[in-house]
């Protein structure tokens, strides 16, 4: 697992854009405590910026009216919150049971070779990041790859090659 204890500062203050602001305010009415907004708030930050910087966490603490430590706790525990910028194309390959049985390793090996990074790394030009992840809930069409949140099923090296070709 990558180091999830380091928080990165960008040096510029963060705030929600109008669309996220409205969604945040809608969510305020849905929970009896404001701390329930921590996970949804972190999602809104990540949707807006692609990752979660230290300033955004401080901003969220402020908006919710809670301790910044509570935001850090959630942001560092839940592995889907990116604590640093990811590649423009973020590729997740499922590594568990059914995908393992149906050859996920060939896809990982191909990607390592083709984009020159190991799982957990980001390519030096910032174009790709690669991760091996746990069961993605599509085991009947294993092996499965998620590219920027979109599922690609029944994968093999050929299909992975074709998918990479769409990453311009």
Partner 1 sequence: MEVKLLSARFDIEDGHKIEVAKKNGAYATLDKLFAMEPGEVIEEVKASGLRGRGGAGFPTGLKWSFLPKGLDKPVYLAVNSDESEPATFKDRYILVKDPHMLIEGIIICCYAINSHDTYIYIRGEYVSQAKALQAAIDEAYAAGYLGEKVAGHDFRLDVTVHRGAGAYVCGEETALLESIEGKKGQPRSKPPFPAVEGLYGCPTIINNVQSIGSLPFILTNGADAYKAHGTEKSPGTHLFGISGLVEKPGMYELPLGLPLMEVIEKVAGGVKGGKKLKGVIPGGSSTPVLLPEEAATTTLDYESMAEHKTMFGSGGIVVLDEDVDIVKLVKNLIDFYHHESCGQCTPCREGLGWMLKIVKKIINGDGTMDDVNLLRELCDNIEMKTVCVLSAACTMPVRSYLDKFRHEFEAYVQ
User: Are the beta carbons of 139 and 95 closer than 8 angstroms?
Assistant: no
* Spatial separation of the C-alpha atoms in residues 35 and 66, rounded to whole Å: 7
Taking the least distance from each CB to ligand FES, the nearer of 13 and 137 is 137
Nearest distance from residue 154's CB to ligand FES, in Å? 11
86-125 binders of partner 1 (CB under 8 A):
95-98, 100-102
User: Are the beta carbons of 86 and 129 closer than 8 angstroms?
Assistant: yes
State both tokens at 73: 């706790």
Q: Is there a cis peptide before residue 4, judged by omega within 30 degrees of 0?
A: no
- Residue 130 belongs to what H/E stretch? strand 128-133
Taking the least distance from each CB to partner 1, the nearer of 39 and 114 is 39
* Spatial separation of the C-alpha atoms in residues 88 and 122, rounded to whole Å: 9
State both tokens at 84: 């640093």
Q: Which residues pair with 152 in a beta bridge?
A: 145
Taking the least distance from each CB to ligand FES, the nearer of 96 and 106 is 96
Which positions lie near ligand FES, rule CB under 6 A?
94, 96-99, 135-139, 142, 144
Residue 106 contact partner, candidates partner 1, ligand FES, none, CB within 5 to 8 A by sort of partner: none
Per-residue x/- track, 123-142, partner 1 (CB under 8 A):
----------xxxxxxxxxx
Residue 113 contact partner, candidates partner 1, ligand FES, none, CB within 5 to 8 A by sort of partner: none
99-113 burial: b if 16+ Cβ within 10 Å, else e: beebebeebbebbee
Nearest distance from residue 140's CB to partner 1, in Å? 5
Q: Is 43 in the site for partner 1 (CB under 8 A)?
A: yes
Using CB under 8 A as the criterion, which residues of the chain lie in contact with partner 1 when the complex forms?
A: 1, 27, 30-33, 35-40, 42-43, 66, 70, 73-74, 77-81, 95-98, 100-102, 133-142, 146, 149-151
């Amino acid at each position: 697992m990558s180091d999830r204890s380091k928080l990165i500062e960008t040096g510029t203050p963060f705030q929600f854009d109008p669309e996220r602001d409205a969604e945040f305010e809608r969510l305020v009415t849905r929970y009896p405590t404001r701390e329930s907004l921590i996970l949804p708030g972190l999602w809104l930050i990540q949707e807006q910026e692609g990752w979660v910087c230290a300033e955004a966490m401080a901003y969220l603490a402020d908006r919710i009216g809670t301790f910044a430590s509570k935001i850090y706790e959630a942001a560092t525990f839940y592995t889907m919150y990116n604590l640093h910028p990811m590649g423009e194309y973020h590729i997740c390959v499922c590594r568990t049971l059914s995908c393992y049985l149906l050859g996920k390793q060939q896809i990982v090996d191909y990607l390592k070779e083709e984009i020159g990074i190991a799982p957990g790394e980001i390519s030096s030009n910032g174009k790709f990041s690669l991760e091996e992840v746990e069961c993605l809930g599509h085991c009947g069409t294993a092996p499965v790859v998620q590219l920027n949140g979109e599922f690609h099923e029944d994968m093999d090296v050929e299909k992975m090659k074709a998918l990479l070709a769409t990453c311009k």
